[in-house]
Amino acid sequence: MTENKVEGMPVISKVEILNRSPVAVGIILDPLERILLQKKDGGYLWLPNKWAFPGGVIEEGEDPKKHTLERLKKNWE
């Protein structure tokens, strides 16, 4: 585990970043212009049980918009 400081508060990370992959995420606004987030379940490797924008890693050559729309559809079925 590594420990870092963010705005004076300790942040514990169980995952070390080995390389960075491109990601695509969606930002959804409701009629009152509030941002809707997805709560990850405990099985996620990256930030389990945390709130996040829906989306994920995209493969080389994959269209980010198409990927994000597919992820949104899958997550809200």
Residue 3 lies in a domain: no
6 is a domain residue: no
| pLDDT surpassing 80 at residue 5 | no
Long-range contacts of 27-33 (CB under 8 A, 24+ apart): 27/53, 28/54, 28/72
Task: Give the domain range for residue 64.
Answer: 21-75
Residue 13 lies in a domain: no
Quick one: which of 50, 54, 33, 31 has its CA closest to 42? 50
Domain with 25 in it: what CATH number?
A: 3.90.79.10
pTM score of the predicted model = 0.56
Around Cβ 67, how many Cβ atoms within 10 Å?
20
10-68 pLDDT, tens digit per residue, is 555 555 656 678 888 888 899 999 998 888 888 877 788 889 888 888 998 999 999 98
**Would residue 2 count as lying in a domain?**
no
Domain count, the chain: 1
pLDDT band at residue 76 under the 50/70/90 scheme: confident
The answer to whether residue 4 sits within a structural domain is no
Q: Say which amino acid occupies 71.
A: R
Distance CA 54, CA 27 (A): 8
| pLDDT for the residue 19 | 66
